[in-house]
Amino acid sequence: MAAPAARVELRSMLDLIDEAFDARAWHGPTLRRAVSGVTPAQAAWRPAAGRHNILELVAHAAYWKHEVRRRLRGGRREPFPLEGQNWVAVENGSWQSVVRLLVDEHKALRATIAALPPRALARRVRGRDTAAFTIRGIAAHDLYHAGQIQLLRRLQQGR
């Protein structure tokens, strides 16, 4: 890929993760907007036993931003602030700190992507997964969980 085209692709990747997380988007609420205004009680509410709540979804999204950043940086292990992997341990009283963690992990991921040399988008970061594929995936992950959070919020209105 020519250098100018690679720079355009990198810029597009940044736009994509921003539009999924907190920038203006046509598709509806971003992940950041989906959690905006959620109270600790709403965050802890479960639609049924064994189902995830908003608090857990937000911690999960933060974990994967951390993991994608680790992969993009070459796989160096960096401890995640919460215990566990994928679905991490969270306590009901930690809502604001988990939201802060999500925002901080997004900022760190964004900075990592912005610092990539454009040619790095084609680099394999895990198995057959390239950096570009992984970045597109984390944007889709944000949107998927934003939709889940919106649904949980709507279900709570009907209680």
pLDDT of residue 17: 96
Cβ contact 113:14 at 8 Å = yes
Domain that holds residue 83: 3-157
Does this model's pTM top 0.85? yes
The C-alpha angle 63, 69, 75, rounded to 5 degrees, equals 105
pLDDT, residue 27, reads: 85
Tell which residue, 137, 110, 143, has the closest CA to residue 32.
Answer: 143
Largest Cα separation within the chain, whole Å, is 55
What was the pLDDT predicted at 133?
96
Q: For position 150, what pLDDT does the model report? A: 96
Residue 50 backbone dihedrals phi, psi, to 5 degrees: 80, 0
Which residues, 6 or more positions from 13, have their beta carbon under 8 angstroms from its beta carbon? 113, 121, 132, 135, 136
Inter-residue contact 1 to 13 (CB < 8 Å): no
**Which two structure tokens, joined as six digits, stand for 76?**
């160096």
Along the 159 residues of the chain, how does pLDDT read in single tens digits? 456 787 899 999 999 999 999 998 888 899 999 999 999 999 999 999 999 999 999 999 999 999 999 999 987 788 899 988 899 888 767 899 999 999 999 999 999 999 999 889 999 998 899 999 999 999 999 999 999 999 999 999 876
CA distance 131 to 134: 5
> Which residues share a beta bridge with 126?
129
User: Which uninterrupted H or E stretch holds 124?
Assistant: strand 124-126
- What CATH number did the domain enclosing 113 receive? 1.20.120.450
Q: What integer pLDDT is reported at residue 80 of this predicted model?
A: 92
Count up the domains in the chain and report the number: 1
